[in-house]
A and B are shown apart, each in its own frame.
Chain A
Amino acid sequence: MTTEALAPPRKMRSGEVAVLLLLPIALINAIGFILPVLNLARFSFNKVSIGGGIENVFTWENWLGLLADRFYLELIFNSVWISLAITLTTLILSYPIALYLHRSSGPWRTFLTVLVISPLLTSAVVRTYGWIAILIDDGPVVSAIRALGLPAPSLMFNIKGVFIGLTEILMPYMILALMAGFGRLDPRVEEAARTLGATPARTFRKVILPLTLPGIALGCLLCFVLAVSSFITPKLMGGGRVFLLATEIYDQAIVTLNWPLASTLSILVLIVFGAALWAYSAVLRRLD
């Protein structure tokens, strides 16, 4: 008996379906992201000519120069450090809000969620100018501090201003990421801990915190990446006195017209992101 004749028409295996479905986005990514990045990587080994043109030669000059220059080493170190500090501050300020939102329900929750998301509806430029108006030397905050008879700090056009502005701008992202990661937090589980004799503080440490770690990791990754790559806020609020990776890339690319150096710095930022992603997946692996 021949079984071939009876066999149903060949079905696509799930692997083939997946490849088909992924193909469009893979193409778009290849053209819109991978190729430009490769091009950027190539620039970083090119040389800049006197007039700002690019000499198509292979050289390690940019990379070696970068690693030998104290200014750039400090720039990298500062950028990473400040971004980490901003991420941590954002986390501390956002966590209670996200937890409260996670626990609330009904129209109240919808209202608060809209409130949290609404800053994202205004551009970061507008919000940055808002912060400048608030924090500037004779603005309301500094005047209020002065009125209290305290020594008034200078909050604008320095790193403090950048810190405050970025933290506020990143908070909605952090809150949303935290809430997305709070899925495992079941109120019954908290209650179980309480009936077993755990005080609210111990319940937080032993149950709530471990169960929300995935959300924390996600939020921190997101905010760190956004902080390192943020340009508008440090540029405007730093008043040209705060040097970070993103602002420096801008200056090199647009002002100095040194594209090879700008490319080298950009690839460096990508390496920093790669490290952040690696740390994130390491945390997630440990959780599982």
Chain B
Amino acid sequence: MPVSQSLEEHLKLDGISISFGPVNVIPSLDLSVRKGEMVAFLGPSGCGKTTTLRMIAGLISPSSGRITVGGRDITRLPIHDRDMGMVFQSYALFPHMDVTRNVQFGLQMRNVSKQDIERRSKEALELVQLGHLAQRKPKELSGGQQQRVALARALVIQPSILLLDEPLSNLDAKLRDEMRLQIRALQQQSGITAVFVTHDQVEALSMCDRVVVMRNGRIEQFGTPTEIYERPATAFVANFVGRTNRLKGKVGSDGQLVAAGQPLRATTKLSPGPVDVLIRPHRIALQPSSGPATTGDGNVVEGKVSSIIFIGDLVQYVVRAGDEEIVVEEATRRERAPLGVGDNVHLRWSADDTLVYPDDGK
């Protein structure tokens, strides 16, 4: 558990909005980030993540609303007085300085002593594993290396707020995992409040204390990774975070949910009308239909395996049930005789795992 994280509110966005010309990119956004917390901004391309980050950093001013840090209004504070470290999506390294001087820039601006500048910049470069490239110019580095320089440059100043705009997007899987751990460890040790923009839901869920799911400049849901994953507030969130099966369904006037041609049970409160029914593929259990067909308090749907995709540690079964195709994921194991294409099966999942949302027409 993060030691330094408290319940104290640190960064607060209060109804901020912005338009570019006629386009209202962010209509009105409220957000409160606690001290020492790492919050992920997760959302599709163009939903306003970078724009929000830029407003926090002061690079653009919101058309309306307030931004406060520790209760102090910084909406009109000049950029250089905000003490925020930012990693730009495009890196934005200084092309005329070598790696070391890039990393030292922020320290020089803070009038840190010469010895400390040397030591801290060296440490920061070691942290991102770039000590051996200290003398290179940015244009002599690969994309991933540039990204790590940008990261070191933002981390070395130990800002009170760290703004990371997809800081790991250009790294290979292994390096990305290492960097995640290091950023997280550093952020927790020094109690920096961080906002982490990412497309990658695994990154958002695994690294961050809370996740903001954004869509079209609005917050769809703000919650812990577990809340986002287990209790997605909208169909959009459920679809965007993790894989889902999406069935067209209907709630009758008696409150009975019907989908895939069968009555289903769900724990959500339902109002009559067309609905989307979402079920995560790995929450469905698959059994040969010759087995016992106990209903319990969950859902059982009959179907026929129409294709099987082997992914290594997972097998995906595509099962035809009524006029819907349902994907089921299972961890591969050896004890059960593998199912084959054409087998009749029972799909089984609990009422809790049946996520139901009013049909949003998409």
The chain A residues found within 8 Å of chain B, CB to CB, are 184, 186, 188-189, 191-200, 202, 206-207, 210-211, 287
Chain B residues positioned under 8 Å from A194 (CB to CB): 58-59, 79-80
Given known pairs A192-B86, A196-B153, the reply for A186 and B92 (CB within 8 Å) is: yes
**A195 and B95: CB pair below 8 A?**
no
Is B105 interfacial (CB-CB < 8 Å)?
yes
Chain A residues positioned under 8 Å from B57 (CB to CB): 191, 195
Task: Enumerate B92-144 residues with CB–CB distance to A below 8 Å.
Answer: 92-96, 105-106, 109-110
Closest CB of chain B to A214's CB: distance in Å?
Answer: 10
**B86 and A198: CB pair below 8 A?**
no
**B88 and A196: CB pair below 8 A?**
no
**B92 and A184: CB pair below 8 A?**
no
Closest CB of chain B to A201's CB: distance in Å?
Answer: 10
Given contacts A195-B84, A197-B83, A197-B106, 14 further A-B contacts (CB under 8 A): A186-B90, A188-B92, A189-B95, A191-B88, A192-B92, A192-B93, A194-B80, A195-B58, A195-B82, A196-B80, A196-B109, A197-B109, A200-B80, A207-B94
Chain B residues positioned under 8 Å from A189 (CB to CB): 92-95
**B96 and A210: CB pair below 8 A?**
yes
**B109 and A202: CB pair below 8 A?**
yes
Complex-state Cα separation, A189 to B91, whole angstroms: 8
Chain A residues positioned under 8 Å from B90 (CB to CB): 186, 188
**A197 and B110: CB pair below 8 A?**
yes
Given known pairs A198-B109, A199-B80, A202-B109, the reply for A191 and B92 (CB within 8 Å) is: yes
Q: List 15 A-B contacts (CB under 8 A).
A: A184-B95, A188-B92, A189-B92, A191-B57, A191-B59, A192-B153, A193-B94, A195-B82, A196-B106, A196-B153, A199-B80, A200-B80, A207-B94, A211-B95, A211-B96
Closest CB of chain A to B210's CB: distance in Å?
Answer: 23
**B96 and A195: CB pair below 8 A?**
no
Closest CB of chain A to B103's CB: distance in Å?
Answer: 10
The chain B residues found within 8 Å of chain A, CB to CB, are 57-59, 78-80, 82-86, 88, 90, 92-96, 105-106, 109-110, 153, 157, 163
Chain A residues positioned under 8 Å from B85 (CB to CB): 195-196
**B93 and A195: CB pair below 8 A?**
no
Chain B residues positioned under 8 Å from A287 (CB to CB): 96
Complex-state Cα separation, A12 to B282, whole angstroms: 62
Chain B residues positioned under 8 Å from A196 (CB to CB): 80, 85, 105-106, 109, 153, 157
**B88 and A188: CB pair below 8 A?**
yes
Chain A residues positioned under 8 Å from B84 (CB to CB): 195
Chain B, Cβ-Cβ closest to A191: B59
Q: Report which of A188, A200, A206, A211 forms a contact with B105, defined as CB distance below 8 A.
A: A206
Chain A, Cβ-Cβ closest to B88: A188
Chain B, Cβ-Cβ closest to A192: B92
**A197 and B94: CB pair below 8 A?**
no
Chain B, Cβ-Cβ closest to A190: B92
Chain A, Cβ-Cβ closest to B95: A184
Chain A residues positioned under 8 Å from B78 (CB to CB): 199
Interface centre among B84, B88, B94 (most CB of A within 10 A): B94
Complex-state Cα separation, A199 to B85, whole angstroms: 15
Closest CB of chain A to B187's CB: distance in Å?
Answer: 17
Complex-state Cα separation, A200 to B163, whole angstroms: 21
Complex-state Cα separation, A72 to B186, whole angstroms: 71
Interface centre among A189, A202, A210 (most CB of B within 10 A): A189
Complex-state Cα separation, A287 to B59, whole angstroms: 29
Chain A residues positioned under 8 Å from B59 (CB to CB): 191, 194-195
Chain A residues positioned under 8 Å from B157 (CB to CB): 196-197
**B105 and A193: CB pair below 8 A?**
yes
Complex-state Cα separation, A277 to B59, whole angstroms: 40
The 3 nearest A-B residue pairs measured at CB: A196-B106, A197-B109, A188-B92
Complex-state Cα separation, A211 to B79, whole angstroms: 21
Closest CB of chain A to B195's CB: distance in Å?
Answer: 13
Chain B, Cβ-Cβ closest to A184: B95
Chain B residues positioned under 8 Å from A206 (CB to CB): 105
Closest CB of chain B to A197's CB: distance in Å?
Answer: 4
Chain B residues positioned under 8 Å from A193 (CB to CB): 94, 105
Chain B, Cβ-Cβ closest to A185: B95
Closest CB of chain A to B184's CB: distance in Å?
Answer: 21
